[in-house]
C-alpha cells in the first residue's frame, strides 16, 4: 500500500461506508445499495466482513434470498464463496474489497490500488464520550442533504435550541476559519463573536460522502457534541444516512450513569428528532429544484462558503470521472428496508418529550441520574 494521500479526486477510488458492523454476523446478512448497485454484506467463517453484488450471475435473483452457510451464501443448489466464486460453475459474482473501522463496514469503490487507510476518528476511542447510532433513509439526492448539513446558519434558525446554546436569539454573523487536517475535502470552523462568542462549529466534509460537526467552546477548547453523517447513495433520489452522535460525559455528567439500553434509546430519539426537522426542508428544496430548476449561487454569503465548495468538489469529480457512477442496468429492483423508529410516529415522540420535561425538572432537584432512568423506563414500557 502506497503512502496515504489526502483524498482521491473523483467519486471512485475511495472508501464508502455501508453499514454498522453489528448489523451483520456469520448467520445474518444485510442488503443495501451503493450508487444504485445492489450489495449484500455478511461475515465469513473467520468473522471478516464480506460484500458481494446482490445478484446471482445466472438469473439475477438476489443472493440475499439465500442462506449463509459456512461463511458462504447458498442460493438454491448453488453456493457462492466470499470471493464471489460460484462453486461448480465458471461464473462469478462481483466482489468488493471490504474493511472495517470503528464499528462501520466500508467498501473500496474502485478498481485501482487501495492507497488510503480506512477512516478513523479520535472521538471513537476517547473515553470522555458516549456514542449513539441511528439510521435514516431520505428520498433526496445526496448533494441536497449535504448542502443542508454544511450550512451553519440552519443550526440556529431551523433547529433553534435542539443543539445546546444554539438558538434563533443568539444567531449573528459567522466568522469562518479554514482548517487543514490533511484528510478532509473541506473543513471550516465558524464562530459567532457578536452574539454567541463562546460557541464554535467545526464543520468538515470527508471522502465517502461523510459529514462531521463538532460543537465546542471557544474559551477552553472543549467539545460538547460531535455528530457524523455517513451517506450511502442508494439511487439518484434516495440516500441512507448512518448517523452518529458523541456526547461528552464531562460536559453532560448524567449520561455517565445511564444504562446502555437507556442511553441508546435516548440517542435514537434525539437524532430522530433533530434529523426530522431537516427532512421536510430538504425534501421541499429538492422537489422544487427538480420541478422548477435552481440557478447557481454566484454571490454567496459567508455562510454559503462550504455549500459552494461542496458543489465545486462535485464538479471536479464530474470532470475526472465524466459522470456519477450510478449502476447501469435495466434491472430496477426496489427494496423496502425496515428503518428504526420511522418518522411520523407523533405519539412516540410526544411520550419522549414528556419524559425529557420530567427529567429536566428532576435535574433541578439534583436527582438527574434517578430521573433519567425512571423516565427512560416509562418511555420503554409505554412504547412496546
User: When comparing pLDDT for 45 and 346, which is higher?
Assistant: 45
CA–CA dist 296, 315 (Å, integer) = 12
CA-closest candidate to residue 132, choices 264, 274, 281: 264
Distance between CA 209 and CA 229 in Å, rounded? Answer: 8
End-to-end CA distance of the chain: 50
pLDDT single digits (tens) 136-174? 888 888 998 898 888 877 777 777 666 666 677 767 677
The span from the CA of 130 to the CA of 34, in Å, is: 29
Cell numbers standing for residue 180: 487543514
Task: Scan for cell 455528530, then name that residue.
Answer: 227
Question: Residue 211's pLDDT is what?
Answer: 93
Q: Decide which of 364 and 211 is more confident.
A: 211
**CB within 8 Å of 276: residues ≥ 6 apart:** 343
Please state, in angstroms and as integers, the Cα–Cα distance from residue 30 to each residue in 82, 136, 139, 226, 361, following that order.
15, 15, 20, 27, 42
pLDDT tier at 335 (50, 70, 90 boundaries)? very low
Q: Highest mean pLDDT range out of 15-19, 87-91, 327-331? A: 15-19
Alpha helices in the chain (DSSP H): 142-149, 153-154, 260-292, 305-321, 346-364, 368-383
Instruction: Determine contact, residues 98/51, Cβ cutoff 8 Å.
Output: yes
What are the backbone angles phi and psi of residue 70, rounded to the nearest 5°? 55, 40
- Give the three-class secondary structure for 61: coil
> In this predicted structure, what is the pLDDT of residue 348?
47
Give yes or no for a contact between 109 and 315, defined as CB atoms under 8 angstroms apart.
Answer: no
Chain CA centroid to CA 377, Å: 28
Long-range contacts of 342-348 (CB under 8 A, 24+ apart): 343/136, 343/272, 343/276, 343/279, 348/383
* Mean of per-residue pLDDT scores for the chain: 79
What tens digit of pLDDT does each residue of 297-313 get? 444 445 577 888 888 99
Residue with C-alpha cell 412516540?
348
Q: How confident is the model at residue 343 (pLDDT cuts 50, 70, 90)?
A: very low
Distance CA(378)–CA(384), nearest Å, equals 10
Q: For the sheet containing 14-20, what is the strand order?
A: 14-20, 104-109, 98-101
What is the mean predicted confidence (pLDDT) over 199-203? 87
Closest of 115, 131, 127 to residue 7, by C-alpha:
115
pLDDT at 342: 38
The model's pTM is: 0.80
Report the largest interatomic distance among the alpha carbons of the chain, rounded to a whole angstrom: 71
Amino acid at each position: 500500500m502506497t503512502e496515504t494521500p489526502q483524498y482521491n479526486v473523483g467519486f471512485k477510488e475511495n472508501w464508502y461506508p455501508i453499514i454498522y458492523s453489528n448489523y451483520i454476523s456469520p448467520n445474518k446478512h444485510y442488503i443495501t445499495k451503493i450508487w444504485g448497485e445492489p450489495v449484500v454484506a455478511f461475515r465469513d467463517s473467520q468473522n471478516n466482513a464480506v460484500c458481494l453484488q446482490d445478484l446471482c450471475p445466472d438469473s439475477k435473483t438476489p443472493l440475499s434470498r439465500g442462506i449463509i452457510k459456512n461463511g458462504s451464501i447458498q442460493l438454491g443448489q448453488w453456493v457462492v464463496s466470499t470471493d464471489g466464486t460460484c462453486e461448480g460453475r465458471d461464473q462469478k459474482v462481483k466482489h468488493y474489497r471490504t474493511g472495517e473501522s470503528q464499528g462501520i463496514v466500508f467498501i473500496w469503490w474502485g478498481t485501482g490500488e487501495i492507497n488510503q487507510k480506512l477512516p478513523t476518528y479520535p472521538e471513537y476511542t476517547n473515553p470522555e464520550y458516549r456514542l449513539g447510532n441511528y439510521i435514516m433513509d431520505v428520498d433526496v439526492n445526496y448533494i441536497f442533504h449535504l448542502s443542508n448539513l454544511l450550512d451553519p446558519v440552519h443550526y440556529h434558525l431551523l433547529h433553534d435550541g435542539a443543539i445546546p446554546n444554539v438558538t434563533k436569539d443568539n444567531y449573528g454573523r459567522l466568522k469562518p476559519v479554514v482548517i487543514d487536517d490533511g484528510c478532509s475535502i473541506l473543513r471550516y470552523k465558524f464562530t459567532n463573536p457578536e452574539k454567541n462568542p463562546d460557541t464554535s462549529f467545526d464543520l468538515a466534509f470527508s471522502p465517502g460522502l461523510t459529514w462531521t460537526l463538532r460543537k465546542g467552546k471557544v474559551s477552553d477548547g472543549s467539545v460538547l457534541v460531535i455528530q457524523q453523517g455517513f451517506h450511502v447513495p442508494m439511487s439518484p433520489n434516495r440516500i441512507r444516512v448512518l448517523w452518529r452522535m458523541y456526547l461528552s460525559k464531562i460536559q453532560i455528567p448524567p449520561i455517565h450513569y445511564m444504562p446502555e439500553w437507556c442511553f441508546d434509546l435516548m440517542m435514537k430519539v434525539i437524532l430522530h428528532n433533530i434529523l426530522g426537522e431537516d427532512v421536510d426542508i430538504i425534501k421541499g428544496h429538492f422537489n422544487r429544484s427538480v420541478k422548477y430548476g435552481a440557478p447557481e449561487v454566484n454571490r454567496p454569503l459567508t455562510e454559503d462558503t462550504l455549500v459552494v465548495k461542496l458543489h465545486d468538489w462535485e464538479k471536479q469529480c464530474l470532470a475526472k470521472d465524466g459522470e456519477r457512477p450510478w449502476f447501469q442496468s435495466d434491472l430496477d429492483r426496489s427494496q423496502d428496508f425496515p428503518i428504526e423508529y420511522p418518522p411520523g410516529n407523533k405519539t412516540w415522540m410526544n411520550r419522549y418529550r414528556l419524559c425529557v420535561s420530567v427529567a429536566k425538572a428532576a435535574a433541578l432537584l439534583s436527582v438527574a441520574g434517578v430521573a433519567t432512568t425512571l423516565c427512560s423506563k416509562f418511555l420503554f414500557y409505554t412504547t412496546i
